[in-house]
Structure 1
C-alpha cells in the first residue's frame, strides 16, 4: 500500500512539474507578444482551485493530472471587445503564433537541460559497467568476467544506462557492434558483438538476456554459513558447510539462484539436495516460517559464507559518483540531453516503421512506478528520470497530430501556404481525428502498463 501511495504521489509531482513548465512556455511567449491569456490550467476537468492575476488571467488547477492547457483570446472562440482586438491570438503574425506553439516543447527541453545540469552537480551514484560471467553471444564473442565496457561503436560508455541505450537500439536493428573493454589485466581490447545473429523472433524485452549480458555480482557460493538452531533448516538437519545442490529438484549454481528459488516457494515441504563432504544427502524441510525481523517475508533459515575480502574490495571499487563542477556540468548536461533525444527519436521512428514493438509504449502507471523507484535510489536519480520524461513530453508534443502543439504548428503552416484560415469544419474534424489517435495511444500505453503490472 505504501508503494502504491508513493507511486501516485510522485506521479502527481512529476506530471505537475512537467506540465506546469510546458504550459508556462506557451503562457510566457503569448504574454511577450501581447496576447491575452484567459486561463492557465494545470490538469484537465473542472478546476478545483483558481484565482485571477492582475491581468485577468485565471490560474487554475484541475483534478486529472495528465496534462494542462493555456486558453488564449481568439475571435474564433468567442466575441471579442473592440479594445481587445489586438490582443487576440489569431490577429498575430504567423511567426509569432508559431513561437507561441513551439514554446511549450521548447520549455520542456530547457527544463531537461537544467535538470541534467543539476543532476551532474549533485552527483549520481553509479556502478562501472563491469561484466559478470558472460553467456550466449557475449561468451561466444570472447567477453570475460570483469571486463569493463569503455565504448560501444566509438561512443563513450560510463554507466549501465549507456550500455542499455546502445545495445537495445543496435539489437533491434540486428546490427553488429564494436565494444571496447578494459580487461581484468588492465589492457584495452576491441571485441565484436554479433547482434546480427539474434533471431528475428526475439522480442526487445528479451534482447539483453539473449545476448547474455550480465553485470558483475559478488561471487557467493551455495555453501552454508552458521545456522540458527531455532530455524527450520537447522531443525531439519542442515549444517554449516553443507553445499546446496538443488531445491525442489531445481539446480542452484550460486547463492543468488538459492534466493530466487526460495522466494518463489509459497509453502512446504521443501526438498533439498546437499553435498556434505563427499556425500550427497536428501533433506526435507517441512515449511518456511515468517522472518522474525519482517513478518511479511518467509525464510528457510540459511545463510551463505561471505565472499573473500579481495572480492569485496573489488566490488566496492566499482561504485563511483558521476559528478562535475557547475561549469563542467553545462556541456555534460547538453551532451546528455542530445544523446537521450537522439535515442528517443530513433526509437520513435522504429515504432512508426514497425521495427520496434508497441509493447515499448508506457503510460501513467509505469511512469508512477519508475518515479517512485527513482526517488528511492536518490535525488540525482529522480532528477535524471524527470529530465527523461520532460524530453519525452517535448518530443511527443512536436509530433504533427491535431490536439498536440505539433498539430497546431502544422495547421499554421498550411494556413500560411494557402493564404487563408482553415475552415472551422476542417479543424473540428481534424481535432476529432487527433483526439481518437491520442485515445488509441493512451489506451495501448495503459494496456501495456497493466500487462507489466500483472506479469
Structure 2
C-alpha cells in the first residue's frame, strides 16, 4: 500500500472508531434519558449505507467521513407528534440535556483510558533514552554528551526515549529552564539544566527541537552481523569488528558509515575499510555490489548490519496498566490545555496545529509500528477530540454546555436569536481553525 492510500485508509479507520464511540455516547445517554433518537450517522452528507433499527432509529454511514451526528426528536426543528412529546429533547430537564451533550466527550475520555490500558498490557516497544547532542546546540552547551542515558527530567523518571521527548516537547512550550539527570558512559550520574529560556517566543516546536539539538544517540560503527556470501564476508570481515574509516575517511558512527559506503562506492566499487578487531587495527579491501537487500531500493551494499538500539518495552499487569493509563490520560490532558493556553496567549505558535493531512500521516506511521503504537495514537486522538468538543465554541458540545450553564443561572433557556448568532460565530471559528491547520499541513509538506 502506497503512503498516500495507507494514510487515507488509517485516517478512515481512526475517524470511524473515534466518531462512532463519540456519537454512541450521545445516543446511549439520550436513550437512557428517554429521548427518541431519529438518526445515528457516521459522517455527513448523503448516505452510502443505512438501515432502520427495531427502535425506529435510522442508522447510516454518510459520504463525508469527517465527523458524525445524532439527530434527536427536537421541537425546534418542527412539529412533534403529541404522542411523542415526552420523548422530545428540549422538554427534558436541563440536567438531562447536559448529560446527553457531555456524553460524547465523556465517552471519548473512557475510550482514551481503555486504549492506554490495553496498550500498557500488550506492551509498547520503544528504545532506551540514550541521547547525544548536535554540535553548538543548547543541549551540547548544557553538557549533554554522546551516549548519555536520561534518568529523569524535571523530577519525572523516564525509561523510554518517547517518554523523555514528550516531557521535553511540553517543556519547550513554556521555555523555562529544564533540569535533567543523566548517566554517562563512565557510569557516573550528572545533574544539568537545559536553558530553554534562551529560545525565542512564538516559534513552532519543530524549530525549538532543532535549536535544542537533543537526539537519539546513533549506533556505534560496529559490524553487528556480517551476511554470508556478501562482499564484507568475502573480504574477511567478522561480526563485532569496529569500522574506523572508509577510503581514509573517519567513521564516527554507524549512520555515518551507511552514508559513506554508497558515496565512495559510486566513485569506485573497491573500498578500503580500516577496522579494529580485538584492539588490533586491520585493513580490508571490499568490493561493493549494487543490490537490493530485504526489499530495499537497489544501492551499493557490502552486506553488513549495524547494532540495534537498546530496546525497552513498557508492559504492566492489568492493575498497574490501569493506573498508568489514568496517569497518561491526566498528563496528556494537562499538556493539551497547556498548549491551548499558550497559543491563545501568543506564547506558543499556532503552527503547532495539525489538520487532517498531518493526522493521516501519523495514523499511517503508528499503524505500521504495531498495534500498541496505534492504540497509543488512538488514545491521544480520542483525548484531543474530547477536549476540542468541550471548548466553549457554539456548534461544538462545549458551546451547548455553555448555553445550558447560562440557562441554569438565569432560569430560562437562551433565546433562539442568541443561539443563531452563536452558531454563525462558532462556524466561523471552527472553519478558521480548520483552515489554519490545513495550511500548516501543506506548509510542512512543502518544506519536507
Fold match (TM-score > 0.5): yes
2:144 aligns with 143
1:79 partner SS? coil
Query: Offset at 1:359?
Result: 1.3
Cα separation, 1, equivalents of 2:46 and 2:390: 27
Closer, same or farther: CA 141–410 of 1 in aligned 2, 3 Å: same
Listed one character per residue, the Cα deviations across residues 408-454 of structure 1 (whole Å, up to 9, x for unaligned) are 11112223333333332322221122112111111111122222223
* Worse-superposed segment, 115-124 or 318-327: 318-327
Cα separation, 2, equivalents of 1:140 and 1:110: 43
1:55 aligns with 55
Query: Offset at 1:100?
Result: 0.8
2:148 matches 1:156: no
- 1:16-35 alignment to 2 at 5 Å? 16-35=16-35
Report if the CA contact (8 A) 1:117-1:333 is conserved: yes
1:45 partner SS? strand
2:346 to 342, 346, 354: 354
1:415 to 391, 407, 410: 407
Report if the CA contact (8 A) 1:126-1:159 is conserved: yes
Listed one character per residue, the Cα deviations across residues 272-311 of structure 1 (whole Å, up to 9, x for unaligned) are 9x9888xxxxxxxxxx99745589835245566x66xxxx
Cα separation, 2, equivalents of 1:217 and 1:428: 57
Report if the CA contact (8 A) 2:153-2:167 is conserved: yes
Listed one character per residue, the Cα deviations across residues 96-145 of structure 1 (whole Å, up to 9, x for unaligned) are 11111111001000000000000011111111111135542222222222
Report if the CA contact (8 A) 2:25-2:103 is conserved: yes
Ranges in structure 1 where 5+ consecutive residues have no aligned partner: 230-239, 278-287
2:235 matches 1:256: no
- 1:55-454 alignment to 2 at 5 Å? 55-132=55-132, 135=135, 136-200=137-201, 203-220=204-221, 243-244=246-247, 254-257=253-256, 259=258, 291-292=291-292, 297-301=297-301, 312=307, 318-454=310-446
Listed one character per residue, the Cα deviations across residues 345-404 of structure 1 (whole Å, up to 9, x for unaligned) are 111111111111111111111111111111111110000000000000000000011110
Cα separation, 2, equivalents of 1:294 and 1:346: 44
Cα separation, 2, equivalents of 1:371 and 1:397: 21
Listed one character per residue, the Cα deviations across residues 315-351 of structure 1 (whole Å, up to 9, x for unaligned) are 56x2121101112211111111111111111111111
Query: Offset at 1:41?
Result: 0.6
Cα separation, 1, equivalents of 2:329 and 2:31: 28
Closer, same or farther: CA 399–199 of 1 in aligned 2, 3 Å: closer
Query: Offset at 1:258?
Result: 5.8
Cα separation, 2, equivalents of 1:189 and 1:181: 5
Listed one character per residue, the Cα deviations across residues 29-82 of structure 1 (whole Å, up to 9, x for unaligned) are 111110111111111111111111222111111111110001111111111011
Query: Offset at 1:9?
Result: 1.1
Cα separation, 1, equivalents of 2:5 and 2:205: 30
1:55 partner SS? coil
Report if the CA contact (8 A) 1:134-1:143 is conserved: no
Query: Offset at 1:244?
Result: 4.8
Alignment: residue pair count: 419
Closer, same or farther: CA 189–276 of 1 in aligned 2, 3 Å: closer
Closer, same or farther: CA 414–271 of 1 in aligned 2, 3 Å: farther
Cα separation, 2, equivalents of 1:198 and 1:296: 40
Cα separation, 1, equivalents of 2:161 and 2:112: 21
Report if the CA contact (8 A) 2:132-2:144 is conserved: no
Ranges in structure 2 where 5+ consecutive residues have no aligned partner: 233-242, 275-287
2:37 aligns with 37
2:66 partner SS? strand
Cα separation, 2, equivalents of 1:375 and 1:169: 24
Query: Offset at 1:3?
Result: 2.0
TM-score normalised over the length of structure 1: 0.83
Structure holding more strand per residue:
2
Report if the CA contact (8 A) 1:15-1:67 is conserved: yes
Closer, same or farther: CA 396–294 of 1 in aligned 2, 3 Å: same
Listed one character per residue, the Cα deviations across residues 230-281 of structure 1 (whole Å, up to 9, x for unaligned) are xxxxxxxxxx9962577xxxx9855524656899x9xx98699x9888xxxx
